[in-house]
Amino acid sequence: MELPMWLADILAVCAAQNDDGIDNAEENAETQAFIRLIEPEFFSKQFLNFIKSDTLKVNLAPFAYYYKIVAKWSYMFNDTELVELISKMFVARASEINGLSYKLNDQFSGDNQEFLNGLENFEKRLFKMSHLSYKDMNNWIAKG
């Protein structure tokens, strides 16, 4: 079954309790989470391998909030490996974002355009902010 994350998240974490909710070690041992999350495609081995080999080519745009989802997922499953991999990916992509945001004309083509199209929402915001800052600087230098 498909659930929105806001619901799935809490259901997966919260255990059902067959009493009035008194925390009791014995009971906790017997309890189970309401639901079990199925590993989504974007955390599959295949996808993660793609991230490793082609960090800048990965299209994250379809997963609008990729980093937020990673943070939630890692929290739930304490997945340190995932966090490490994704952090590395982020650094690589962020450097590229910074490099492109520095370009003065807003003309992007080929690989650059493809990379920008593949950004997820936080990355897009980062790009825009960085671009605004560089622009402000260049306008200031040109002024007067």
Partner 1 sequence: MNFNDILKDFETEAKGPKLESDKHRADDIQRLTDTWIKEKSVPELLPYAGELLDRLLVGVRKQIEFIEMNSIELQQDEREIKLLLVIVENELDRVQFLIRSYVRVRLSKIDKFAIYLRSEDEELSKLSSNETVYMEKHLELLMDLYNSQFLASMPEGLQALDEVAAGISMVEKPEYERPVFVKCKRDNHVLIDDDEIELTRNGIYVMRYSAIRDLVSNGEVMVL
Partner 2 sequence: MTELPPYHFTTSEINFLAEQESITILPRYTFNGTRLIGPRLPNLKALHRQQVPVWIALILKKQDRCNVVIPDWLSVSFLKQRYDEEVNQPNNFSELPWHWLPIAKMLLEKCSDDFIDATHEVRSTLQDLREIRQLKARKGIKELNEVYLQLDGLSLMEINEIRPFIIESMNQLRILSQSVKGNGQFTGIEEAAEKEDVSGLLDESEVGDYTRDSTRDSIARDTATTDSVARDSIRGSGVRSRKPDTSYGDTRDENDDEDSDVEYKKS
Partner 3 sequence: MYGDQATKLILESKRAQSLDKIPLYQHDQVRSIVREIRDLQREADVLAENNLSQLDDSAIPYASDKVKQCQLFVTHLCMRRDKRCLLAYQRQRANQIDGLVWSNVEVDRESMENLSQHEQEYLSRYNELVSEFKGAMSEVDLGGSLEPPSDVFIDVRVLKDAGEIQTEYGVFNLTKDSQFFVRQADVERLIQQGYLMRL
Among 12, 13, 17, 83, binds partner 3 (CB under 8 A): 17
Instruction: Phi first, then psi: give them for residue 77, nearest 5 degrees.
Output: -110, 10
Q: Count CB atoms within 10 A of the CB of residue 82.
A: 16
Q: Which of 1, 4, 106, 140 binds partner 3 (CB under 8 A)?
A: 4
Contacting residue, 7, 64, 91, 137, with partner 3 by CB under 8 A: 7
5 vs 64, beta carbon nearer partner 1: 5
Binders of partner 2 in range 13-32 (CB under 8 A): none
Question: 120 with 89: CB under 8 angstroms?
Answer: no
- For 3, the token pair is 């659930």
Type of residue numbered 61 = A
Residues of this chain that bind partner 1 (CB under 8 A): 6, 9-10, 13
